[in-house]
Structure 1
Amino acid sequence: MTRFPAVDGLRVIAALAVVVSQVGLQTHAPFAGVVSRLDVGWAIFCAVSGFLLYRPHVLAWFSSTEPPLMLPYLRGRALRILPALLITVALSVAFVEHPATTYLEWAVLTPFLFYLLLPGLGRLLTGYERPTRRSVQWRLLVLVALTVLGPVWMAAVTATDHPDAGLWLPGYLGWFAVGMGMALWQVARATGRLGPSTLDTLTRVPGTLWGIAAALLLIAATPIAGPYDHAPATPAQALVKSLLYTLIVACALFPILTPTAGTVRLLGGRPARIGARLSYGVVAYQFVVLGLFKGPLALQLPLTLLLAALLAAVSYRFVERPVVRFGVRRKNSAVAKTDNSATSPSSSPAR
């Protein structure tokens, strides 16, 4: 299975959750606990990225082929992400009185550092030995251990009064590791490196896992996970919040690995595909809309969703997609030149 259609719906849900949490923070929405904790959408985005970007490394390991080349991979990431991000920064600086620099800094620092580290991390976790059951299990344990890093890091930076360090990659690496671990498990299970287990049963009951995720979200919505705004949390609250988000992400993502027909219908249809293409832009451009318009939740939320979606659609159609296609054409042209150079006859010998 090379495509996971239900991922599209999960991206749309993550984008909607992020927008609702940001609007709720600005408008002091009712049910503040649940609304504020919908920023778990950031964690879902991290896990999806970890799953999709690490999986090619696992496939290469299992098939004894070369992993994705680093420079083409980084170029592809930059072409997909930078255009909308740069437009958001420009619009925010030009039109917003108080730009949302905190989240923009997070959008730059955390994903890009992960993208830079992924080739080396992927090679470290998929090299040096054959993909046996034992080697797969060992690497799964390493990735599970990485999921603990985020909660510990958040507790540590809170305890030492270094809130800016909460934006650094270690605080979110555990969410990426959730997706990476699931990529390894899915490929290992599909190729027979891992045998059947109770995890297979869980993939057939997505509603149960999503119900657990909802229950965990309600627990996170209590004061046990800290304040609902930007007020400082205690180390214990920071740890609990990060840990709960990790568990929520795991429950949300796992059913899409081997989705049921109902899951595909629900999360993988054409509307989900279109929404997934725009999800990144919606999340980025919402900050501009929120900086320009103020109002009660009932007005602010639909207005933010509508305008952010319109900006995302225009940006995707006229900027992001053309830039990506230009990069693909350049890549194909370079490959063709290399192939022609390698197969062209050598010059005639002097007579």
Structure 2
Amino acid sequence: MRRMRFPALDGLRAFGALAVLTTHVGFQSGDALQGPFAGLLSRLDIGVAIFFVISGFLLYRPYVVAWFGEPEPPLTLPYLRNRALRILPALWVTVILAALLVPRPDGVNWVTYLRHATLTQIYVDSPAAGGLTQMWSLATEGAFYLLLPFLARLLISYERPTRQAVRRRLVVLTCFTLLGPVWMAAINATGHPIAGLWLPGHLGWFAVGMGFALWQVARSSGRLGSSALDTLATIPGTIWAVAAVLLLIAATPIAGPFNLDSPSPGQAFVKNLLYTVIAACVVFPAIMPSPRTAKILGGRIGHVAGDISYGVFCYHLIVLSLVEQLFGFGPFEGHFALLFWPTLVVSVGVAAASYYLMERPIMRLGRRDRSYDVSPVGLDNTANATASSTDPWTTPDVSPASPSGQG
């Protein structure tokens, strides 16, 4: 199969990074805790779920393509090397900058920073380092990276990719989406909140992307016939409107408190399930985009924004802390707009410098397996090829892609 690109996913990755930055500014200013937009600002951590769905789709898809008789699945060691090359350089620079520039809370020492640098901080109940609290999601995604080769081979083993085999695996992946809500309800019922950061609580978000990958390859190869999903793919505006309505529902107490207080088991279940459906609705129109969708989300601006989105995710809390110090603002004092715009502009600048001066050169030097593109989601200047297809089901297949390491 020839290469196929997914340009619209770049714009969604940029949207996810913007959502994460916005919710953190909202919490730091206090506007996510009280005020007319508190519910919405507090739920913009939905960006994490969007990242996870995109990663599940792009990383699992090469295994599905291999199952359908194409090249061998990715070798585990090159796959892990490429993941490390993508996420570790910016992570380590972020940890160093946080240690040097952000005030340290009580109980934070060099061991704390070492845990963040090795993505093991979520397994120890200790104070979080300033400027690095968002890295819990990167640690969770790192756990998914390690699990995926074994999970993927388990799912593609034992039988040929017949229509029935594909449907059985779609059922299994659908069942995975219920693991997260059940896990989150259970850990809140038993009083173990740190376990809410672990992979089982979020595996359903990755499973949504994996299910999309399996469905898309099976549908494009003729293993699956047309279904309601075909119709949904043609009405992206409606699907995104559904996502917006569900987000507004999530921005009520039904999904738990707006602050960091522990929700009830029922609220934790509802929030995780709502995030699963919202992220699915956001991402689905982008995996088989209309020409208009691909042009808007996957044009040059969207492509560049997607490239630097990981850096925005990594550096924005450090930038936010420096902006607060510059203006003399304390936490929860308001001033959302005064914090948001400088944080966004400076974070974009720092992220662009990081990507073009460090991250991309390191990937180019380090990756010997050239089937993996150096860009975060395997896109290059031919990304608009998807948009030129009049029939999404006859668009050529994709080569192994390489999504961002955002969590």
Do Structure 1 and Structure 2 share a fold, with TM-score over 0.5? Answer: yes
Instruction: Report the Cα distance in structure 2 between the residues aligned to 1:291 and 1:125, rounded to whole angstroms.
Output: 44
Q: In the alignment, which residue of structure 2 is the partner of 1:305?
A: 344
Instruction: Report the Cα distance in structure 1 between the residues aligned to 2:358 and 2:263, rounded to whole angstroms.
Output: 40
Q: In the alignment, which residue of structure 2 is the partner of 1:324?
A: 363
Instruction: Report the Cα distance in structure 2 between the residues aligned to 1:101 and 1:308, rounded to whole angstroms.
Output: 14
Does 2:319 correspond to 1:289?
A: yes
Distance 1:52 1:83, change over 3 A: same
User: Alignment partner of 2:222: what SS?
Assistant: coil
**CA offsets, 1:307-331, max 9 Å, x none?**
1111111111111111101112x55
Instruction: Report the Cα distance in structure 1 between the residues aligned to 2:64 and 2:264, rounded to whole angstroms.
Output: 38
Residue segments in structure 2 that go unaligned for 5+ positions in a row:
105-129, 330-334, 371-407
Residue 91 of structure 1 aligns to which amino acid in structure 2? Answer: L
Q: In the alignment, which residue of structure 1 is the partner of 2:58?
A: 52
Does 2:270 correspond to 1:240?
A: yes
Q: In the alignment, which residue of structure 2 is the partner of 1:35?
A: 41
Does 2:268 correspond to 1:262?
A: no
Residue 264 of structure 2 aligns to which amino acid in structure 1? Answer: T
Does 2:97 correspond to 1:91?
A: yes
The correspondence for 1:222, drawn from 252, 267, 291, is 252
User: Alignment partner of 2:258: what SS?
Assistant: coil
**CA offsets, 1:282-331, max 9 Å, x none?**
01101111222225111111111111111111111111111101112x55
Instruction: Report the Cα distance in structure 2 between the residues aligned to 1:173 and 1:20, rounded to whole angstroms.
Output: 24
User: Alignment partner of 1:130: what SS?
Assistant: coil
User: Alignment partner of 1:177: what SS?
Assistant: helix
CA contact (8 A) 2:48 2:137 kept: no
Q: How does 1:200-215 map to 2 (within 5 A)?
A: 200-215=230-245
- Considering fraction of residues, name the structure with more helix: 1
Q: CA RMSD in A?
A: 1.2
Residue segments in structure 1 that go unaligned for 5+ positions in a row:
333-351
Residue 317 of structure 1 aligns to which amino acid in structure 2? Answer: Y
Instruction: Report the Cα distance in structure 1 between the residues aligned to 2:135 and 2:19, rounded to whole angstroms.
Output: 17
Q: In the alignment, which residue of structure 2 is the partner of 1:16?
A: 18
What percent identity do the matched residue pairs reach? 57
Pairwise CA distance, 1:134: 0.2
User: Alignment partner of 1:293: what SS?
Assistant: helix
User: Alignment partner of 1:129: what SS?
Assistant: coil
Residue 14 of structure 1 aligns to which amino acid in structure 2? Answer: G
Does 2:154 correspond to 1:124?
A: yes
Instruction: Report the Cα distance in structure 2 between the residues aligned to 1:331 and 1:178, rounded to whole angstroms.
Output: 28
Q: In the alignment, which residue of structure 2 is the partner of 1:339?
A: none
Q: How does 1:66-77 map to 2 (within 5 A)?
A: 66-77=72-83
Q: In the alignment, which residue of structure 1 is the partner of 2:67?
A: 61
Q: In the alignment, which residue of structure 2 is the partner of 1:338?
A: none
Residue 56 of structure 1 aligns to which amino acid in structure 2? Answer: P
**CA offsets, 1:245-276, max 9 Å, x none?**
00001111111122111111211100000000
Instruction: Report the Cα distance in structure 2 between the residues aligned to 1:252 and 1:105, rounded to whole angstroms.
Output: 22
Instruction: Report the Cα distance in structure 2 between the residues aligned to 1:157 and 1:121, rounded to whole angstroms.
Output: 24
Does 2:225 correspond to 1:195?
A: yes
Q: In the alignment, which residue of structure 1 is the partner of 2:202?
A: 172
Pairwise CA distance, 1:106: 3.3
Instruction: Report the Cα distance in structure 1 between the residues aligned to 2:70 and 2:352, rounded to whole angstroms.
Output: 40
Instruction: Report the Cα distance in structure 2 between the residues aligned to 1:36 and 1:238, rounded to whole angstroms.
Output: 14
Instruction: Report the Cα distance in structure 1 between the residues aligned to 2:229 and 2:282, rounded to whole angstroms.
Output: 14
Instruction: Report the Cα distance in structure 2 between the residues aligned to 1:265 and 1:65, rounded to whole angstroms.
Output: 30
Residue 135 of structure 2 aligns to which amino acid in structure 1? Answer: L
**CA offsets, 1:135-187, max 9 Å, x none?**
00000000000011111111111111111111101011110000000000000
The correspondence for 1:181, drawn from 170, 190, 211, is 211
When Rg is computed on C-alpha atoms for both structures, the one with the higher figure is 1
User: Alignment partner of 2:263: what SS?
Assistant: coil
Instruction: Report the Cα distance in structure 1 between the residues aligned to 2:229 and 2:369, rounded to whole angstroms.
Output: 40
Q: In the alignment, which residue of structure 1 is the partner of 2:172?
A: 142
Residue 20 of structure 2 aligns to which amino acid in structure 1? Answer: V
Q: How many residues align?
A: 330
**CA offsets, 1:18-57, max 9 Å, x none?**
1111100111224010111111000000000000000000
Residue 319 of structure 1 aligns to which amino acid in structure 2? Answer: M
Instruction: Report the Cα distance in structure 2 between the residues aligned to 1:227 and 1:100, rounded to whole angstroms.
Output: 23
User: Structure with the greater relative contact order (CA < 8 A, sep ≥ 6): 1 or 2?
Assistant: 2
Residue 105 of structure 1 aligns to which amino acid in structure 2? Answer: W
Instruction: Report the Cα distance in structure 1 between the residues aligned to 2:91 and 2:349, rounded to whole angstroms.
Output: 16
Instruction: Report the Cα distance in structure 2 between the residues aligned to 1:200 and 1:127, rounded to whole angstroms.
Output: 27
Residues 272-281 or 307-316, more deviating: 307-316
